[in-house]
Amino acid sequence: MEDSKIFSTVSTLIYPFLLMFGFYIVINGDLSPGGGFQGGVIFATSFFIRYLISKKDPFSLILLARIEKILYIFILLFISLSMLTKAEMFTNFIISEEISYQRLFLVALNFLIGLKVTAGVISIISSFIEEGEL
Amino acid sequence: MFKKIKIGVFIGLLLILLVKIINVFQILLRDSEIYHYEKMLGDMIGEVYSSNFVTGIYLDYRLYDSIFEATILFAVATGIIFMVRKDIEMIEHLSIKRIKILKK
């Protein structure tokens, strides 16, 4: 893409708000529309905008793939914890009756899925960047 | 002989499908939509403790779906990396690992 002053200035203005928006979508996912997948993709878009501003690609693909692998295994373990407390696979593992404690599971799972999706989409984008100049 | 058996089995399966479709329509006619919604929403607040019903579905009732969605994304990311990256560094990385495994 050609260097344009207007484009880079507007991107620099948008970038922090996009980060905030992605974080809001992930954290507030169990109360409002949104969630881990959508917020993760917004996060990845904000990193792509950062690449468009500075023309530097700071992520190494092997590291990103490793992070995604570890997070995926961690999510699987986190979900199957309910086997120990409720003897059911893939549900909420908190036994307490209070709503505020039960919601912790949803928020944490949204957050983990958001991190995983962020790593995946950033790795896709940066592999395309490596292949040919975007 | 085999052809006749095949045709018979096919007609039997079609009949089973027809009976099933009629059954589903009967159930739909008997229980109206409003009744279904009320039942589902009332149960969900007690079970999932989430005020957003979509979250209740994709993080509790249908957690299998979310997990396989994440799996598909993982497979896509690793596949794209594997197909795009064919430079010397990656091949060396892989071959070094393979040599280490062989030596053991």
For residues B104 and A42, the model is more confident at A42
Q: Rounded to an integer, what distance in angstroms lies between the CA atom of residue B87 and that of residue B74?
A: 22
Q: Rounded to an integer, what distance in angstroms lies between the CA atom of residue A36 and that of residue A30?
A: 10
Instruction: List, for residues B14-33, the tens digit of each pLDDT value.
Output: 999 999 888 887 777 766 56
Q: Give residue ranges of B with CB < 8 Å to any A CB.
A: 48-52, 54-55, 58-60, 63-64, 66-67, 69-71, 73-74, 76-78, 80-81, 84-85, 93
Q: Percent of chain B scored above 70 by pLDDT?
A: 64
Please check whether residue A105 is in contact with residue A92, taking contact to mean a CB–CB distance below 8 angstroms.
Answer: yes
Q: Find the mean pLDDT for residues A23-28.
A: 91
Q: Percent of chain B scored above 90 by pLDDT?
A: 22
Q: Rounded to an integer, what distance in angstroms lies between the CA atom of residue A26 and that of residue A35?
A: 5
Predicted local confidence at residue A26, as pLDDT: 92
Predicted local confidence at residue B43, as pLDDT: 66
ipTM summary value: 0.84
> Taking the domains of chain A in order of start, what are their residue ranges?
5-131
Q: How far is B28 from chain A (nearest CA, A)?
A: 29
Contact A30 B85 (CB under 8 A): no
Predicted local confidence at residue A21, as pLDDT: 93
Predicted local confidence at residue B52, as pLDDT: 80
Q: Percent of chain A scored above 90 by pLDDT?
A: 40
Predicted local confidence at residue A44, as pLDDT: 92
Instruction: List, for residues B50-78, the tens digit of each pLDDT value.
Output: 778 888 888 888 888 999 999 999 999 98
Q: Find the mean pLDDT for residues A42-54.
A: 88
Please check whether residue A53 is in contact with residue A11, taking contact to mean a CB–CB distance below 8 angstroms.
Answer: yes
What pTM does this model have? 0.73
Predicted local confidence at residue B91, as pLDDT: 62
Predicted local confidence at residue A29, as pLDDT: 86
Three-class SS state of A113: helix
> Taking the domains of chain B in order of start, what are their residue ranges?
1-30
- Whether the predicted pLDDT of B100 surpasses 70: no
The pair of three-digit structure tokens given for residue A84, joined into one six-digit string: 């120990």
Predicted local confidence at residue B104, as pLDDT: 61
Which residues does A37 contact at the CB level (< 8 Å), separation at least 6? A113, A114, A117, B69
- The DSSP-derived string for B46-104 is HHH--S-HHHHIIIIITHHHHHHHHHHHHHHHHHHHHHH--SHHHHHHHHHHHHHHHH-
Contact A109 B59 (CB under 8 A): yes
* Residues of chain B neighbouring A102 (CB-CB closer than 8 A): 48-49
Instruction: List, for residues A93-123, the tens digit of each pLDDT value.
Output: 888 878 788 888 889 999 999 999 999 999 9
- Whether the predicted pLDDT of B103 surpasses 70: no
- On average, the pLDDT of chain B sits at 78
Contact B58 A35 (CB under 8 A): yes
What is chain B's alpha carbon radius of gyration, rounded to the nearest angstrom? 26
Question: Which residue in chain A is spatially nearest to B60 when comparing CA positions?
Answer: A91
